[in-house]
Amino acid sequence: MKNNSKITEISLDDVPQMSTKANYYDGEIFFADNISSIPQVLDKFKLRFIAFVFCTHGEVTLHLDSREYTLHARHAIIIDSASVVSVVKPSPGCMCKVCAFNPELGFNFMTKGIFETMMQLHRNPLVKFTNDEITLMLRYYELAKFKMDNPSLNYGKGTMAQILKVYVYDMVSCITKHLGQDNNEMMRQGDKLYRRFIMLLSENANVKRSVNSFATELCVSPKYLTSVCRAHSGKTAGELVAMSVVGRVKQLLLFSDKSIKEIAAEMQFSNLSFFGKYVKKHLGHSPNNYRRINGYGR
């Protein structure tokens, strides 16, 4: 938990410490049966992860980036990384499922459709699903919970990432029907540039680590690219590049059988020492220790 200009930033690692009722947490993905199981220890906080909240009973009111939203049954709200949340007020009997994950995971399955839907949700994050759609969303949640309740059927952390991936694809398909598609020709130039940059990141997570190389490919200056990224995400181009690379590194360290040397080669690091220093800088541990601490292969 980090205090930034009097607004406390909460990472995904902080959430299980705030609640003893998490159904699943593996360092990257978090599931909880009810938003009320997470105590309101802070009046205002900034998320450093992405959260989907589905209301199944009652209602809950919250302020998201100073705008008020009220969720009723079949409502869902998508809370993006760096959003400021405050004044969370669930009604008596309110039930909301929570699914949260680190934003680095998003680069592993980003598509043009997902990006455009997330851009629209940034402007209007509240969606009302049909009965069938909310049932589908909850079935994914129940599948994940069932696997956690039955360890003999849980064949590895990688399966949870795959469930989340399909979960997001189906959720985006449902949301898109309610939001409608933005006309690409009506998008601002900055929106188009940001989308192209994110698409390049998702395609080159194991190749490019230089903002200059992305800026050259996009035919803009690194300074302009960074200004556009900061306006859209609150992060610099360099920070987004690092998130993309780190997300791919995590995926390979935790969900593949490749050796550290093979991973370093795939990620195109010049040598093992440089790779080790990069991982230590961004993940706080050496590659081998990160695997050991986070339960590699389980």
pLDDT along the chain (298 residues), means of 10: 68 72 70 63 76 88 88 89 80 85 72 71 84 88 77 66 78 78 58 85 74 92 92 86 86 84 91 93 91 67
Tell me the H-state helices in the chain.
15-18, 112-123, 131-149, 157-179, 189-203, 211-218, 222-233, 237-255, 260-266, 272-283, 287-293
Query: Given phi > 0 = left and psi -120 to 50 = alpha, else beta, which region is 65?
Result: left
Indicate where the chain has its CATH 2.60.120.280 domain(s).
2-179
What is the pLDDT, as a whole number, of residue 275? 94
Q: Which fold has domain 2-179?
A: Jelly Rolls (2.60.120)
What is the pLDDT, as a whole number, of residue 160? 67
What is the pLDDT, as a whole number, of residue 185? 45
- Looking at this protein, which amino acid is placed at residue 178? H
What is the pLDDT, as a whole number, of residue 272? 93
Domain covering 188-293 assigned CATH 3.90.230.10 in the classification: no
221-234 CB burial, b ≥16 within 10 A, e <16: ebeebbebbeebbe
User: Residues, the chain, total?
Assistant: 298
What is the pLDDT, as a whole number, of residue 18? 67
pLDDT tens-place string over residues 67-108:
899 999 999 888 887 788 886 788 888 888 888 888 777 666
Listed in sequence order, the residues at least 6 apart from 62 whose beta carbon sits closer than 8 Å to its beta carbon are 68, 69, 71, 77, 85, 86, 87, 88, 89
Query: Given phi > 0 = left and psi -120 to 50 = alpha, else beta, which region is 268?
Result: left
What is the pLDDT, as a whole number, of residue 183? 46
Dist. CA 3–CA 24, nearest whole Å = 26
